[in-house]
Amino acid sequence: MKLMSENGVTNGGVYKRSFNESFEQAPMYVHVLTFLGFVVATLFGYLRDFTRGCGLEKCIFATEREEQKDFVPLYQDFENFYNRNLYVRIRDNWNRPICSVPGPQIDLLERVSDDYNWTFRFTGRKLKNIINMGSYNYLGFAETEPGVIKTVNTVVNKYGSGICSARQEMGYLLFEHYPFSSLE
């Protein structure tokens, strides 16, 4: 049994058939529009930095204290560019506090910001039945309802479990070679 992978041969030699994977190429206009989007966002970021430097816009991002000017700066100007100009503006879309089981639908805690998404405060309200699009549990296997647990147990006993990874990362199992009789 081989332990190392060669071109086109998977580890262990379990998968004997040839494997050739291809991906659809994106059209040229997708590449161009994506690049233009980054250019426009960067230009607006530099424009906002310029207005902050001139005093036209309030500077609310993290800065170094005056007594630390002789040390290596913690907040590099260019390194903090993305966080300062792009991420903070859309930050409310990520890092949302979940207050339910991460199933296909989740409950979120409502929060608001009074300082343009630098800090948040909770309102005490729950947003119910939000579609979960940011979890690996979109199939609902982490549900606590007995019917769901029984169905998952039956399906895993019948088909077995797989490795959640791409074939190129050795994440493929053939069920005919690795039968699972039970989960015990």
Distance in angstroms (rounded) separating the CA atoms of residues 120 and 114: 7
Q: Judge whether residue 33 has pLDDT over 50.
A: yes
pLDDT greater at residue 129 or residue 91: 129
Beta strands in the chain (DSSP E): 105-112, 121-131
Instruction: State the distance between the two ends of the chain, measured CA to CA, in whole angstroms.
Output: 29
pLDDT of 5 above 70: no
In this predicted model, what pLDDT tens digit does every residue of 44-66 receive, in sequence order?
988 988 888 888 887 766 667 78
Q: Which residue has the higher pLDDT, 116 or 35?
A: 35
What are the residue boundaries of the structural domains of the chain, listed by start?
Answer: 96-141, 145-184
pLDDT tens digits along 68-84? 778 877 766 677 788 77
pTM assigned to the model: 0.48
Closest alpha carbon to 99 in 130, 120, 121, 137: 130
Percent with pLDDT over 90 in the chain: 15
